Structure 1
Amino acid sequence: MTSYGAAGPASLSRADTADLSARTAGPVLLPEDADYAAECVTFNLMTALRPAVAVGATSAADVRAAVRFAAERDLPVAVLTTGHQVARSAEGAVLINMSRMNAVHVDPTRRLARVEGGARWQQVLPETDKHGLAPVSGTSPTVGVVGYHLGGGGSPILGRKYGYAADHVQAIEIVTADGELRRVTADSEPDLFWALLGGKGNFGVVTALEFTLFPVQRIYGGGLFFAGEHAAKVLHTWRDWVVDLPEETNSSIGFLRRPPLPDVPEPLRGTFVMHVRFTSLGPADEAERRLAPIREIAPTVLDTITELPYREAGSVFLDPPRPVPWVERSTALRDFPREAVDALLAQLGPDSGTQLGFVELRPLGGALTRPTAGANAVPGRSARWQLFGSGGGRPELAPVFREQLTAMVDAVAPWAQDEIMPNLLSDRQGRTPQELRVIYGSERYDRLAAIKRRYDPRNLFRVNHNITPA
């Protein structure tokens, strides 16, 4: 029998889920089942999920069955592909694991990719590369493609030239709260299409996505690593230099504190370094001329600048290749003057005492700040800079990491803005409708809430940064 607690259903029995098991090809797992924990695991090991039942979807039909099962019992629905971004623990929810639905099809004539809801970038990039094409992808090959697009998708390589990944979505196949599978385009259901791109998982379970590809096959780039003692000179010089780069040339900067572990490259092991990330779509000689002022700052600890196929672009950024525990925080900045540089150095420099392992500052601009004629709900386009920080590897230090991340964000608050791309939200951001209204802006949030009322009036999809029905 189903048992109920103050917050809703606390558990489901085998009898409760028998009909769901009969209607799905994928596994249907309860907490007592041996494979349940593996079905619920996230990439961020700090964000454990504990749903009432976990469904391993193998098709859109499985997704429909799971959504209808949840709707019949008024259970919330949570969606898991990779678990890089988890807002809530999914207690009492029906968890739909999309990872088995990962097919990728590339149409080189139309420069279009169709990917299923569970595909990761590491499954997409080799396929697009075969045709000399590239998507507007992010830093990590392990990130889920659909969630990346639904939250905006700000590429550090192609974003300033082509805009957000969400700007190039052509069609979305989605199971909505009524259990129906819809194919949504800007022409067929313009309001839902607008809301999906920026509204994250608030409107249903995306089973497939189609998006435009661009004629990019190679980049010139990598990283220059400078000893942490040069942090002030590196950051000030980089800040003055990066604002004049053309849109096809990109750079971000990272404060890296790497542990003394065997899988960390020897020059970086147990050290604090400044990591200047650099990519160019132009010729190598032209890129090197632009990079010259940065090479002159100080001797490098490590230099990985080289020509790369686009499918290996993730190697520039050194994101973790496998699941780790971490806490994070981000903010968007209108400006980053010299006073802000000094404020950030006080929190993160060689004498700061911080234990944050990674902080990245990324300039935006270009197509990321140009309007899209109302094509989607992605907020934060007025931001000129993006700051993201994380502390990880030691869950017992999570309170320390959170305190230091708050201090970092507070230090640059005079130059910050409220609107921010949803993909950058941590589990501590946007937890209430009031907070999300600020993050999206009142007009955008009100429109999202009205569309939510139309397509999900009972708020079935609420295990997320939740937009409540108007």
Structure 2
Amino acid sequence: MTEHQGRTDPGEDAVTELADRIGGSVFTPDDPGCTGAIAGFNLRSRHRPCLVVAASTATDVLAAVGFAAARDLPVGVMATGHQPFPAEDDFLLVTTGAMRTVEIDAERAVARVGAGALWSDVVEPAQAAGLAPLNGSSPVVGAVGFTLGGGLSPFLGRSYGWAADHVVAIEVVTPDGTLRRVSPEVDPELFWGLRGGRSNFGIVTELEIGLFPVTSFYGGGIHFPAEHVEAVLRAFPDVVREAPDAFTCSVALLNFPPVPEIAEPLRGRFLAHVRVTHLGSDEEAEKLIAPFRAIGEGVLDTIGRHPYSAYAAVHGDPADPLPYAEQGALLAELPPQAVNSLVESAQVAAGGLVTALEIRHLGGALADRPAAAAPIAARDAQFNVWGATVGPPETVEAETAMLGGMIERLSPWTTGLAYTNFSGREDRAEQVFTAADLARLRALKRRYDPRNLFRVNNHDIAPE
């Protein structure tokens, strides 16, 4: 390799040879298609890889990893690019967005999911078989990255647990250039580490994930106007305190921008959005949310019986790429003093550029520790707090400090850790794993990636 304009240059002949070996595409920084190839959902992440392999098969991934390992090049992987990891230079980026295969085995209640598959790719065929995955709130998030970060489903999680605990098997290319299929029976330690350690131990090319017999839910959302925000926040702990596992609820404080893309009732307003999913009866759900109903009329109310395929409307996550920063924390409890802090934050945030601040109820099956439980630090938490700022870099930087202050005020009630998929761009492995899990993960790293080549676009688990 040579240095080219201050950056690593793998060499034209080597790149040509690599391109001849794969079915996907290879881009160097000077190629016209490189900018599009490295653009993820979060436009704030600005990577400068020295080489990009847009893989279309596991064979392509094998070739890319072998190429990088032979040249001591760091390796990163990206499917949809939702998490805002710090900018990186001079590495080989493998993109898996083209690997969107999905196969449903209805008899086993298992989905075989390619590395680039979105939740929208999985839910539709699963529903055709009368089944549902432990998916997230957005249909455009990658199913594999979501699951390898723990997989917190706001619809089925409290009933069935973490998505990572329901992985059946994993196909992965490890740093030594080997394609392996691991499971609870075959290399159980690597299987354990991948389900939480993300891309620290290789590039996952396929997952087999469990599915569940759910075809509808009672729920949706209520957008309350600014004058009801405090009442909503104070009602929330009472609603969830004795709620059954079939019931999931969160409250998000939202600043909607005054743009045409936002529906008229919400445009340019500060609102509290109550999000509800219930797998039991309609009548039971209405009894549970009665404290919210008593507050007053919502600006927009979509709660009712819905097919599971309508899950995306509950949270209404954006579908188009945006520049944003996010931060999160896990709460061990939500006493009245913590609610007071949230009310103060709501007063500060109203009309500002902290776009979203959500508090989500955990517990239920999310607190379970099955045999060989995946390394997820959120099992002991009762709530997750997550916030995001959206906008141009100067706006995001300014408002991120305000968001950080809101979350910092909740520190007396936090566990000291963050949920992996809702962590900030600067968070380290020590902030998303328990000390015991991290020690075990480091030992696994020493075994499979002693040179720490797989350290890009993840919470780097250094061997030492």
Q: TM range, normalised to the smaller chain? A: over 0.9
Structure 1 residue 47: Cα displacement: 0.7
CA distance in structure 2 between the partners assigned to 1:173 and 1:74 by the alignment: 23
1:373 Cα deviation from its structure 2 partner: 2.8
Residue 444 of structure 2, aligned match among 419, 433, 451: 451
8 Å CA contact 1:256–1:275 kept in 2: the answer is yes
The Cα of 1:291 is off from its aligned counterpart by: 2.1
Following superposition of structure 1 onto structure 2, how do residues 140-159 of structure 1 map, counting pairs within 5 Å? Answer: 140-159=138-157
Shift of 1:275: 0.5
Contact 1:354 1:404 in 2 (8 A): no
Cα deviation code 1:233-291 (max 9, x no counterpart): 11101222222211111110010110011111111000001100111112223322322
Alignment of 1:82-93 (within 5 A): 82-93=80-91
- Contact 2:23 2:56 (8 Å CA) reproduced: yes
Partner of 1:468: 462
Superposition RMSD on alpha carbons, in Å? 1.5
Contact 2:250 2:275 in 1 (8 A): yes
1:31 pairs with 2:26: no
2:220 equivalent to 1:225: no
Aligned residues: 463
Q: CA deviation at 1:409?
A: 1.3
Determine what percentage of the aligned residue pairs are the same residue: 42
1:62-120 alpha-carbon deviations (Å, 9 max, x no partner) = 00000001001100111010000142323111111101111000000110100111111
Q: Given residue 389 of structure 2, which amino acid in structure 1 is its aligned partner?
A: G
Moved more, 62-71 or 410-419: 410-419
2:306 maps to which of 308, 317, 321: 308
The residue aligned with 2:255 is: 257
Amino acid at match of 1:96: V
CA contact (8 A) 1:231 1:349 kept: no
**Structural mapping, 1:166-177, within 5 Å:** 166-177=164-175
Report the 3-state secondary structure (helix = DSSP H, G, I; strand = E; otherwise coil) of the residue aligned with 2:141: coil
Give me the whole-angstrom Cα distance separating, in 1, the residues matched to 2:391 and 2:409. 25
1:349 alignment partner, SS class: helix
Question: Structure 1's 360 and 287: CA in aligned 2 closer, same or farther, altered over 3 A?
Answer: same
Task: Give me the whole-angstrom Cα distance separating, in 1, the residues matched to 2:231 and 2:282.
Answer: 26
Name the amino acid aligned to 1:442.
A
Q: Distance in 2 between matches of 1:333 and 1:375?
A: 21
Give, in whole Å, the separation in 2 of the partners of 1:235 and 1:459. Answer: 44
Does the C-alpha gap of structure 1 residues 405 and 107 become closer, same or farther in structure 2, counting only changes over 3 Å? same
Deviating 4+ runs (over 3 angstroms):
350-354
Please point out which of 172, 179, 184 is paired with 2:182: 184
Following superposition, the deviation at residue 353 of structure 1 comes to 6.2
- Tell me the equivalent position of 2:393: 395
**Whole-angstrom distance in 2 between the partners of 1:203 and 1:385:** 29
Q: 1:203 to 1:268 in 2, by over 3 A?
A: same
- Could you list the runs of 5+ residues in structure 1 that have no partner in the other structure? 431-435
Q: Residue 390 and residue 351 in structure 1: after superposition, are their counterparts in 2 closer, same or farther (change >3 A)?
A: closer
CA distance in 1, matches of 2:298, 2:185: 52
Inter-partner Cα distance in structure 2 for 1:283 and 1:191: 41
| Cα distance, 1:122 vs structure 2 | 1.0
Q: Secondary structure at the match of 1:268?
A: coil
- The answer to whether the Cα contact below 8 Å between 2:329 and 2:419 also exists between their aligned partners in 1 is no
5 Å-filtered alignment, 1:5-84, equals 10-84=8-82
1:197 matched residue in structure 2: 195
